[in-house]
């Protein structure tokens, strides 16, 4: 398991692997783009071409434009690499910005990890 605290920010990123799929869990405020950001962690993990990548944002308390931009970039890269990609979000702090910007319509967003895993090909609920 990889566990990092962003320099200069409050976002915490934890990465785990479940049956070949990578789960990147982000907690705290996703507001600024520090050197070691959730964006870089997600994009780096995609470059290793996991069987699927799930970004869990259920612990995020503020979700600003850097987070939205990161999800768009990750979704595009995942599609280009053929890696199934899902987002887990269950509360207003994340869902509202995704819906207001229209990004929610371009992503596969689920309320739980179990729902995300059930929807992804070749993975089962952890």
- Determine the pLDDT at residue 121: 84
Comparison of pLDDT for 5 and 113, the residue scoring more = 113
- Determine the pLDDT at residue 85: 96
Comparison of pLDDT for 31 and 33, the residue scoring more = 31
Q: Could you give the CA distance from residue 17 to residue 99 in angstroms, rounded to a whole number?
A: 29
- Determine the pLDDT at residue 34: 54
Q: What is the 3-state secondary structure (H, E, C) of 17-54?
A: EECCEEEEEEEEEECCCCCCCHHHHHHHHHHCCCCCEE
- Determine the pLDDT at residue 19: 78
Give the confidence band of 2 by pLDDT, cuts at 50, 70, 90. Answer: very low
Comparison of pLDDT for 20 and 29, the residue scoring more = 29
Q: pLDDT tens, 51-76?
A: 999 999 999 999 999 899 999 999 99
Q: pLDDT tens, 113-126?
A: 999 999 998 655 45
Sheet with 109-110, strands from edge to edge, namely 2-5, 12-18, 21-30, 53-63, 85-88, 109-110
């Amino acid at each position: 398991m990889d566990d990092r605290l962003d320099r200069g920010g409050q976002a915490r990123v934890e990465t785990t692997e479940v049956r070949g799929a990578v789960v990147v869990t982000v907690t705290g405020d996703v507001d600024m783009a520090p050197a070691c950001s959730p964006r870089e962690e997600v994009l780096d993990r995609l470059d290793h071409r996991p069987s699927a990548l799930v970004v869990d944002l259920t612990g995020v308390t503020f979700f600003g434009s850097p987070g939205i931009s990161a999800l768009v970039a990750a979704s595009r890269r995942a599609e280009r690499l053929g890696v199934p990609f899902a987002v887990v979000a269950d509360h207003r702090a994340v869902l509202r910005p995704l819906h207001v910007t229209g990004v929610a319509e371009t992503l596969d967003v689920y309320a739980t990890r179990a729902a995300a895993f059930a929807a992804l090909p070749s993975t089962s609920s952890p």
